[in-house]
Structure 1
Amino acid sequence: MSIFHVRTSIVVMACAATTSLWAQGVYKIGEINSYKAQPAFLEPYKRGMELAIDEINASGGINGKKLELVLRDDNANPGDTVRMAEELVSREKVDLIAGAFLSNTGLALADFAKQRKVFYLAGEPLTDKMTWQGGNRYTFRLRPGTYTQASMLVPEAVKLNKKRWAVVYPNYEYGQSAAAAFKKLLKAAQPDVEFVTEQAPPLGKVDAGSVVQALADAKPDAIFNVLFGADLSKFVREGNTRGLFKDRAVVSVLTGEPEYLDPLKDEAPDGWVVTGYPWYSIKTAEHSAFASAYQTRFKDYPRLGSVVGYTMIKSAAAGIAKAKGADAEKLVEGFKGLQVDSPFGRITYRSEDHQSTMGAFVGRTKKEGAAGIMVDYTYLDGSDARFQPNIADVKTSRLAD
């Protein structure tokens, strides 16, 4: 039996207690994710959740109750995701559901939450449909979505002054959403831009040779990349071998995250404009405290997944405390305008669209020895109106709240 099909209780006990007393005094979070399919992000993410649980329970819990995680693996499959959610709600009696990495599984959870009127806190899925087109009353999201991250990259893309662009993305909801947002925003900012080719390989099944050759044949001035994980590694390796990136600008979502940049080692790209997480040089008090606690606990450095998992659990705890319980309707109201302290500073869950104001770091990759890092970066706050669509348009695109 998989470890993710066994209840996982992560607690710090201030004093001895019996199992029966412990069971009576918990808030249960049912967390569903693609642990086996996306371990690079989700193993650090799980550690981030564990650290947050440790801290919350060590300080006495919430409203006198501890937090408990009940984990499930969704096999990166929306059908399995819904089955796991139903099991968690019906059998495990969780108080709320959380998680999802892939956008398609996240949308499945969002629809489940709407149908079953269960509170759902999405940590990672980036499609704008989570909170905008079709967003629903019971779903809130932590990370900035594809529109926001694209809007943070577009000003840097415009500075490149390139006319002919190619786009490459994984052919599922997240990739499609990111590519569409970037094309729309870049065209608005630079009307003479041309998109000369698109390559959309299946997620996890990129034929890097044919993709790289097709991009090269189109002779673009610049490339917008949305590939990540193993697909990114194959793409970068083949692109380096065939000279695709020589004298050609690249703008790339997520590539500066250590989950995806570190495995490239000495093949890491140089000079790409990226969103990411330069954990090694962020000097704010909030981040230093988090990084120190994380490294002390796990003897390893944090990844962006660590921040997401940690902040998601802290958000859930803050929402339960504000709502004075875990009733779904009260949680929905409690999360509207909820403020949470994160390793990136204070964030707010907006009432209008249930999206948090967590931002992203934008900078450039640099090869340093046998590794890649992010340099010349800036943290762009998700509360900045420059990175959001018109709020009236968002309201009309959402389902009735």
Structure 2
Amino acid sequence: MNFRYSVLYAAIVAVTGSVGMAHAADTIKIGEINSYKAQAAFLEPYKKGMEMALEQVNAGGGIMGRKLELITRDDNANPGDAVRVAEELISREKVDVLMGTFLSNTGLAVTDFAKQKKFFFLAAEPLSDKIVWQSGNRYTFRLRPSTYMQVAMLVPEAVKMKKKRWAVVYPNYEYGQSSVATFKKLMKEQQPDVEFVGEQAPALGKIDAGAVTQALVDAKPDGIFNALFAADLAKFVREGSTRGLFKDRAVVSLLSGEPEYLDPLKDEAPAGWVVTGYPWQTIATPEHKAFLDTYQKKYGTHPRLGSVVGYSAVMSMAAGIKKANSTDSEKLADAFKGLEVDTPMGRITYRAQDHQSTMGAYVGALAVKDGKGVMENAVYKDGAKFMPSDAEVKAVRAAD
């Protein structure tokens, strides 16, 4: 009996294995890892953007005569889980490439995994500078503008405010830490007499907004640099408004103009903050209008920044595979250097020096109109103009 079962099992494995191989030959599998449950506000629109791009690519015949296929996994916002599902996607699902991640710590974990496995990874969303600098490697590229780039977009606005005493508030993990380090460095370079008089760094998702706000009030800063986002941002804004923290005080803030975080605030949006974000209502470029019209028709709602990132990530992967004419990680790593991709934000380039794309961000001031938070006087900042020099990158990044 055991022998018969063994023969039968072997036959089943042989058949299903051949079917799996045929399926793999018909499609190009993108293994996508993200914190869907923990960061739903950003990642639900992100998933819609990916799906829209996938449909467009496949409707056009796919790449190399093969359709693109997305296989997604949730990393539970945990670096260990991110590595585990990356391994699962490669070994069980036989994906051709890896893509995604949201938080900087999970992005860094998969960046290291890609290096160890010599497997191609496009980091779509995480902003940590380390992904393309200290931890950068041949197999990892990054789409969104980094913390350095976005802070560099805000610093000239902060300098114009002519405030001497600054406080900082940020989530206490890689993204927040690197954001504040860059803000302090660039402010010192452009305004040597600047002073930093208060610092609050709550754990991500666990802010005691009352205590944080009161500590900043007690520090009596002239200006505040904020890097909080999502639910932490909403709690901080509401408590800060109640306690008068923002009254007659300058604030510059990362990400706060992104609809994912601005929309929930409604008429509580802190008017006057200078922010990076995505003012989808007022972007008049042809490429964005085409994206906006298609997205609204398909989903019956406006895009969020996550929508743009998800769409652009899939389009980047498609363009890279087409240029390489292969899904081989070595060939993809070569193809992505200098790769140009058309996105809703315009054409971007993945520069060879550090594998960072030139995607930019909008900078503007928050206001409340018709009971909703909006960005006013928003200007697109081309990411290529806010990157560190080749010499600076070479000093912190190991050679591929």
Q: TM-score range by the shorter chain?
A: over 0.9
Q: What does the per-residue CA deviation read over 1:152-174, in whole Å, with 9 as the maximum and x for residues that have no partner? A: 00000000000000000000010
Map 1:158-173 to 2 at 5 A. 158-173=159-174
Which secondary structure state, in structure 1, belongs to the residue aligned with residue 281 of structure 2? Answer: helix
Q: Deviations over 1:299-338 (max 9, x none)?
A: 1100000000000000000000000010000000000000
Asked if 1:197 is matched to 2:189, the reply is no
Provide the C-alpha distance between the structure 2 equivalents of 1:151 and 1:206, rounded to a whole number of angstroms. Answer: 26
Who is 2:364 aligned against?
Answer: 363
2:388 matched residue in structure 1:
389
Report the Cα distance in structure 1 between the residues aligned to 2:207 and 2:363, rounded to whole angstroms: 26
Distance in 1 between the 2:349 and 2:147 partners? 18
Report if the CA contact (8 A) 2:108-2:135 is conserved.
Answer: no
For residue 196 of structure 1, give the secondary structure of its aligned residue in structure 2.
strand
How far 1:399 moved relative to its partner?
2.2
C-alpha distance 128-19 of structure 1, shift in aligned 2 (>3 A): closer
Q: Do the aligned partners of 1:349 and 1:357 also contact (CA within 8 Å) in 2?
A: yes
| Residue 222 (structure 1) shift | 0.5
Amino acid at match of 1:379: Y
1:353, 1:378 → 2: CA distance? 26
Match in the other structure for 1:380: 381
Q: Is the 8 A contact 1:81 1:105 kept in 2?
A: yes
Partner of 1:150: 151
Equivalent residue, structure 1, for 2:112: 111
Instruction: Give the superposition deviation at 1:24.
Output: 2.9
Hey, what's the Cα distance between the residues in 2 that align with 1:19 and 1:291? 37
Whose Rg is larger? 2
User: What is the CA–CA distance in structure 2 between the aligned matches of 1:198 and 1:361, rounded to whole Å?
Assistant: 26
1:249 corresponds to which residue? Answer: 250
Separation (CA, whole Å) in 1 of partners of 2:205 and 2:86: 25
On the 8 A contact 1:133/1:394 being kept in 2, the answer is: no
Q: Which ranges of structure 1 fall in alignment gaps of 5 or more residues?
A: 1-17
Paired letter, 2:48: R
**Which residue is 1:290 aligned to?**
291
Partner of 1:221: 222
Mapped partners of 2:42, 2:249: distance in 1: 29
Letter in 2 for 1:400: A
The question of whether the paired residues in 2 share the 8 Å contact of 1:134 and 1:397 is answered with no
Aligned-residue Cα RMSD (Å) equals 1.1
Q: CA deviation at 1:396?
A: 2.9
Q: Give the residue type in structure 2 aligned to 1:261.
A: L
Q: Which residue is 1:321 aligned to?
A: 322
Distance in 1 separating the partners of 2:271 and 2:107? 33
Contact 2:134/2:396 (8 A) holds in 1: yes
Change (3 A) 1:109 1:223: same
2:182 is matched with: 181
Report the AA paired with residue 390 of structure 2. I
Q: What is the TM-score with the length of structure 1 in the denominator?
A: 0.94
Bigger mean CA deviation after superposition, 127-136 or 229-238? 127-136
Which SS does the other structure have where 1:363 is aligned?
A: strand
Following superposition, the deviation at residue 367 of structure 1 comes to: 1.1
What is the aligned partner in structure 2 of residue 137 from structure 1?
Answer: 138
Amino acid of the structure 2 residue aligned with 1:302:
P
Deviation at 1:40, TM superposition (A): 0.5
Aligned to 2:34: 33
Q: How far does the alpha carbon of each residue in 1:117-171 deviate from its partner, in whole angstroms, 9 at most, with x for none?
A: 0000001100100101221111000001011001100000000000000000000
Q: Which amino acid aligns with 1:57?
A: N
- 1:4 is matched with which residue? none
**3-state SS of the aligned residue for 2:294?**
helix
**Secondary structure, counterpart of 1:188 in structure 2:** helix
Q: Which amino acid aligns with 1:378?
A: V
**Secondary structure of 1:215's match?**
helix
Secondary structure in structure 2 of the residue aligned to 1:383: helix
Counterparts of 2:319 and 2:22 in 1: how far apart (Å)? 24
CA shift, 1:21, in A, is 6.2
Distance in 2 separating the partners of 1:314 and 1:356: 13
1:48 and 2:52 are equivalent in the alignment? no
Say whether the 8 Å CA contact 1:126–1:174 is kept in structure 2.
Answer: yes
Write the letter of the residue equivalent to 2:347.
R
| Residue in 1 that maps onto 2:70 | 69
After TM superposition, give the deviation of residue 20 of structure 1 in Å.
8.6
- The code of the aligned residue for 1:350 comes to R
| DSSP-derived class of the 1:85 partner | helix
1:283-309 CA distance string (max 9 Å, x none): 100000001111111111000000000
SS in 1 for 2:356: coil
- Paired amino acid for 1:64: G
CA contact (8 A) 2:348 2:359 kept: yes
> Are 1:400 and 2:393 an aligned pair?
no
Distance in 1 between residues matched to 2:72 and 2:327, nearest whole Å: 18
Aligned-pair distance for 1:366? Answer: 0.5
**Match in the other structure for 1:9:** none
CA distance in 2, matches of 1:398, 1:20: 38
Report the Cα offset of residue 19 of structure 1: 9.7
Contact map agreement 2:112 2:135 (CA 8 A) in 1 = no
Q: TM-score, normalised on structure 2? A: 0.94
Q: Which amino acid aligns with 1:392?
A: A
